[in-house]
A and B are shown apart, each in its own frame.
Chain A
Amino acid sequence: MTRPRIVQVVAALGVAVLLAPLIASCSGDADEGANQGAGEGEPAPGVTDTTVVVGTHHPLTGPAAAGYASISAATSAYFAYLNDNGGVNGRSIEYIVKDDGYNPATTQSVVRELVLEDRVFAVLNGLGTAPHSAVLDFLDENEVPDLFVASGSPIFNQPEKYPWTFGFNADYTAEAKALATYAQEQHPGATACLLGQDDDLGEDFGTGLRSVLGDDGLASEQSYTTSNPDVSAQVAAMKQAGCEVVFLAAINAFSALAVGTAAKLGYQPQWLSSSVGGDYGTVSQYLGENAALLEGFVSANYLPSHFSETDEWTTLFRQINDEYNDGAPFDGNTVYGMSVGYLFAEALANAGGTPTRQGIVDAVTSGDLRGNGVVPLALSTSNNGAYQGVQVTVVAGGVQEYVGDPYTAEQGDGPVAPYTGGPVALEDDGVPTS
């Protein structure tokens, strides 16, 4: 009986040996790495005369997919609009979206596929703090532009350590400072609590809050984990602590859960939510009939409001959504996805007629990009974060609207200051030119 087994073992290893070169030969020349195109006259990977290929990793399946899956579709729709209008410097943008199920191990795999197999020019809008931090070293080693990461964590804003990585979302700490300042103005002396996700989102948000409210400014700090959709204990604890003001550093589903659970306990504090979990459209859907609980809900945002009837960007995006996005619902995620696409297109246009990887990074840090937010872009040679400020939104009569002036903040312990420059105006119908 020993012989067949030995044969099996050897056959197994032998097949591996045989298959490997076969697969290798099928997929083209065996290079040493993805860092090609470093020479002067050679085109960068992912760039041809007519196309630019970029890729991303998003959770399209799994529990995290709810609430994020529509973003990449919106970005694709924007690129479709852009390509129909001549593209950028004569090139169409092709957007490859890979599913990673919010699992850092899968992210490792799909990002390697994007960089080494699909040979993308850049990685755009990688989503999730945990998934994306798993690939920072790889992207840095291979000198791949890692643009506009979908996270507000300061991890993605480290120009010395990761010069190729740039964040997009409003910095969690800056956002927290803005909301805390607003709370102090509107509810002076009120007892405050925090319900945060048990990761960077919750932690960085807490840091920002404490820097404005003081180290003992929070009567109770609760956290939840996404694998456990039950926050009744946390909400009960906050009610016990007598909090009149509750800050939420949570994703949309858990914001809804918190509000709903509190109502069941007869507890109705003033809610102030991070932009991450403050999209009225999504949260009210979760609450269904109880959407009225969201009256007075305070959140923050930095992109054009998707409720607005007058904002030019919103009008444009709505048109694009109708024409190119299969009639998908138009909400905060749609505006977000299209804004990311716009910023990338702007950077690509700025990178010139023959874009290189270094070229687009230079364009991003040049300070010439304007974006489309209510606060100016903070990108520069010493800052790898796009948005460092937010404007407060309040839900009134079932509509979420901006109030007051936006606040912008420096990184670190600096306070926030109001910004009166006004939102970025729409130019050229959202088709950037160099």
Chain B
Amino acid sequence: MSADVPLHARRPRWRPGPAMRRLGLTVAGLALAIGATFALEPYRAYQVAVVAAYLCATAGLTLLVGRGGQLSLGHAALMAAGAYGFGLSSNALSAGGAAGAVRLVVPLAVGVLAAAALGALLGAAGARLRGPYLAGLTLAVVVAVPAITSTFSKALGGDRGLWIEIERRPDALRPWVGAEQWQAWVAIVAAALVLLVLGNLASGSAGRQIAAVRDDEAAARLAGIDVTRVKVVSFTLSAAAAGLGGAVLAYVTQIANPGAYSLVFSLFLVVAVVIGGLGSLAGAFWGALLLVALPEATSSIAETLPVSPALAQRLEGNLALLVFGLLLIVLMIAAPRGIHGALARARGALRRRWRARGPAPAPAPVPESAAARAPTTG
């Protein structure tokens, strides 16, 4: 307490601020992840790339829905904007003879900007809306994507999609780094960037404002928060993240087509963030992982079932859908905070049990939860 400090106050040691800590840890984690790709088979590396691309989108969506309370059922359309932005600019640069890092970084940036622009429009249109109305608007947008690509099919390729000329891995790295591994690197870097930016945002005053708007718009307005601006900005950032995810996906698959960003996929994104844990970035990670791992798992299960080939075929695509749906319903009823929430609860329970069995009754720090729940003396 302050009584113990001598009158000449000690100069506090410089400690890195929270943002710096986060940056450092992200870079460390990034290095670890990239190092780990050397141990992966090419197919797994490809899957890691897809998970990381999905993570960009789920991270943005989980914050938008969980923290901001704005349900977007059309995030796939924002990913599509990123993908087509990437594709068109990459093709344009290739036609112009560009090569090298420019052909990778600039199209990714264009994808992000395209999605952000669409997100800003949607955010502005939906700023006065809540709940189901915004959801319905985003639903109409995602349903319109195939119509837009067909209307402008000369430029966008219609249903068959846009084939993209991409910048492959640098020649210097070719002997040591596989094609799929390089794709994973690009995707992981993009995901780390998204996690860093959104993490900083969510923990700062912006995050608090977003949550305030979600909880009680009128009160937030009274407190001086520009509600419309907050909503539009949060939608735009979420869209930018999704756009990066779509652009990376376009890079990895070398194609941008409306079928990859369908209504069904948009719903899958929502399922993923809910199951992972709404509002948390770790939950976004679990969700992205689930999106890739679950269809593969159900496919293997379906293959081993002793059913007729016709039934096996019918199971092939539909089993994953069924499991997702059931998981969603069960989780929303029983464990609305998803995987992340369950893990947090388990961690909390373990921590309490460990403290209860602690060695000495020394003045242990009061557990935060207890202090938060009831004001104690001293």
Residue numbers of A with Cβ under 8 A of B are 1-2, 5-6, 8-17, 19-21, 23-24, 27-28, 30-34, 60-62, 69, 72-73, 76-77, 97-99, 101-106, 108-109, 112-113, 116-117, 129-130, 133-134, 137, 141, 198-200, 225-228, 325-326, 328
Closest 3 CB pairs of A and B: A61-B317, A13-B29, A130-B160
16 sampled A-B residue pairs with Cβ under 8 A:
A2-B22, A2-B203, A9-B29, A9-B195, A9-B199, A13-B195, A15-B285, A20-B39, A60-B316, A61-B317, A104-B259, A108-B255, A116-B41, A134-B253, A227-B147, A328-B310
With an 8 Å Cβ cutoff, the count of chain B residues facing the other chain is: 67
Name the residue on B nearest A80 (C-beta): B309
In angstroms, Cα B337 to Cα A408, docked, is 65
Give chain A residues whose Cβ lies under 8 Å from the Cβ of B258.
227
Given the interface contacts A1-B203, A101-B259, A198-B158, does A12 sit within 8 Å of B281 by beta carbon?
A: yes
Interface residue stretch chosen among B44-52, B116-124, B358-366: B44-52
**Shortest Cβ distance from A213 into chain B, in angstroms?**
24
Q: Are B48 and A199 within 8 A (Cβ)?
A: no
Question: Which residues 296-354 in B have Cβ within 8 Å of A in the complex?
Answer: 296, 299, 308-310, 313-314, 316-318, 340
CB distance from B149 to the nearest CB of A (A): 9
Among A72, A77, A103, A105, the one with the most B-chain Cβ atoms within 10 Å of its Cβ is A105
Would you call B203 and A16 a contact (CB within 8 A)? no
Are the CB atoms of A116 and B43 closer together than 8 Å?
yes
CA distance A23 to B297 in the complex (A): 13
In the assembled complex, the Cα of A59 lies from the Cα of B37 at a distance in Å of 32
Within 8 A of A (CB), among B27-49: 28-30, 32-33, 35-37, 39-44, 46, 48
Instruction: Specify which chain A residues have a CB less than 8 angstroms from the CB of B310 in the assembled complex.
Output: 73, 325-326, 328
**Bound complex: CA A34 to CA B255 (Å):** 23
Q: Are B36 and A227 in contact (CB under 8 A)?
A: no
| Residue on B nearest A96 in the bound complex, by CB | B303
B68 at the interface (CB under 8 A from A): no
B249 contacts partner chain A, Cβ-Cβ < 8 Å: yes
Q: Which of B192, B252, B258, B316 has the most CB of A within 10 A?
A: B316
- Asked whether A61 lies within 8 Å of B40 as measured between CB atoms, the reply is no
Tell me, yes or no, whether B254 is within 8 Å of chain A by CB: yes
The answer to whether A102 and B21 touch across the interface, beta carbons within 8 angstroms, is no
Chain B residues near A106 (CB-CB < 8 A): 260
Which residue of chain A has its CB nearest to the CB of B42?
Answer: A116
Q: In the assembly, what is the distance between CA of A43 and CA of B122, in Å?
A: 57
B153 pairs with A5, CB closer than 8 A: no
Cα–Cα, bound, A107→B122 (Å)? 31
**Shortest beta-carbon distance from A239 to chain B in Å:** 23
Name the distance in Å between B199's Cβ and chain A's nearest Cβ. 6
Q: A61–B21 Cα gap in the complex (Å)?
A: 47
B162 to chain A, nearest CB (A): 10
- For residue B285, which residues in chain A have a CB less than 8 angstroms away from its CB? 12, 15-16
Interface SS of A by simple majority: helix
Asked if B161 and A104 sit within 8 Å, CB to CB, the answer is yes
Complexed CA–CA distance, A106 and B264 (Å): 13
| A31 with B41: CB separation less than 8 A | yes
Q: Are A101 and B317 in contact (CB under 8 A)?
A: yes
B31 smallest CB distance to A (angstroms):
10
Q: Contact at A130–B161, with CB atoms within 8 Å? A: yes
B259 touches A24 (CB 8 A): no
Nearest CB of chain A from residue B218's CB, rounded to whole Å: 25
Residues of A contacting B228 in the complex (Cβ-Cβ under 8 angstroms): none
In the complex, A102→B25 CA distance in Å?
41
Pick the residue among A27, A32, A104 that contacts B260 (CB under 8 A). Answer: A104
Most buried by B among A12, A21, A23, A109: A12
B282 & A326 in contact (Cβ 8 Å cutoff): no
Q: Could you mark each residue 128-171 of chain B with 1 if its beta carbon is under 8 Å from any beta carbon of chain A, else 0?
A: 00000000000000000011001001000011110100000000
Residues from chain A with Cβ under 8 Å of B282 in the complex: 8-9, 11-12
Contact call A105/B260, Cβ cutoff below 8 A: yes
| In the complex, B18 has a CB within 8 A of chain A | yes
B-chain residues with CB within 8 Å of residue A2 when the two chains form the complex? 18, 21-22, 203
User: Which listed residue (A20, A32, A69, A228) contacts B150, Cβ 8 A?
Assistant: A228
Contacts of B147 in A (CB 8 A): 227-228
B36 contacts A109, C-beta separation under 8 Å: no
A355 to chain B minimum Cβ distance, whole angstroms, is: 24
Given A112-B43, A198-B159, A227-B150: A10 and B309 within 8 A (CB)? no
Do residues A16 and B33 form an inter-chain contact, with CB atoms below 8 A?
Answer: yes
Check B104 for interface membership: any CB of A closer than 8 A.
no
- B84-128: CB near A (< 8 Å → 1, else 0) gives 000000000000000000000000000000000000000000000
Smallest CB gap from B312: residue in A: A97
* Contact (Cβ within 8 A) B29 A10: yes
In the complex with contacts A16-B285, A103-B260, A228-B147, A24-B44 CB distance below 8 A: yes
- B249 engages A17 (CB within 8 Å): no
How distant is the Cα of A40 from the Cα of B309 in the complex, in angstroms?
Answer: 37
Q: With A30-B39, A105-B257 in contact, do A199 and B160 touch (Cβ < 8 Å)?
A: yes
Query: With an 8 A cutoff between CB atoms, is B266 at the interface?
Result: no
- CB of A27 within 8 A of CB of B44, answer yes
CA distance A11 to B276 in the complex (A): 14
A30 and B178 form a contact (CB under 8 A): no
Given contacts A1-B203, A103-B259, contact A23 B44 (CB under 8 A): yes
Shortest CB distance A386–B (Å): 22
Asked whether, in the complex, the Cβ of A72 is within 8 Å of the Cβ of B313, the reply is yes
B42-A326 in contact (CB<8A): no
Least CB separation from B38: chain A residue:
A30
B161–A98 touching, CB < 8 Å: no
Given A9-B25, A17-B36, A134-B161, 8 other A-B residues pairs in contact with their CB atoms under 8 A: A8-B340, A15-B285, A17-B32, A69-B313, A99-B316, A102-B259, A104-B253, A227-B150
Provide the residues of chain B in CB contact with A9, threshold 8 Å: 22, 25-26, 29, 195-196, 199, 281-282
Say how far A5's CB is from chain B's closest CB, in angstroms: 5
* Alpha-carbon gap, A33 to B280, bound state (A): 37
Are A13 and B158 in contact, with the CB atoms below 8 A? no
Decide: A198 and B44 in contact? CB cutoff 8 A.
no
Shortest distance between the CB of A53 and any CB in chain B (Å): 13
Q: Which of A11, A73, A134, A227 contacts B146 (CB 8 A)?
A: A227
* Min CB gap B32→A, angstroms: 5
How near does chain B come to A303, taking the closest CB pair, in angstroms?
Answer: 21
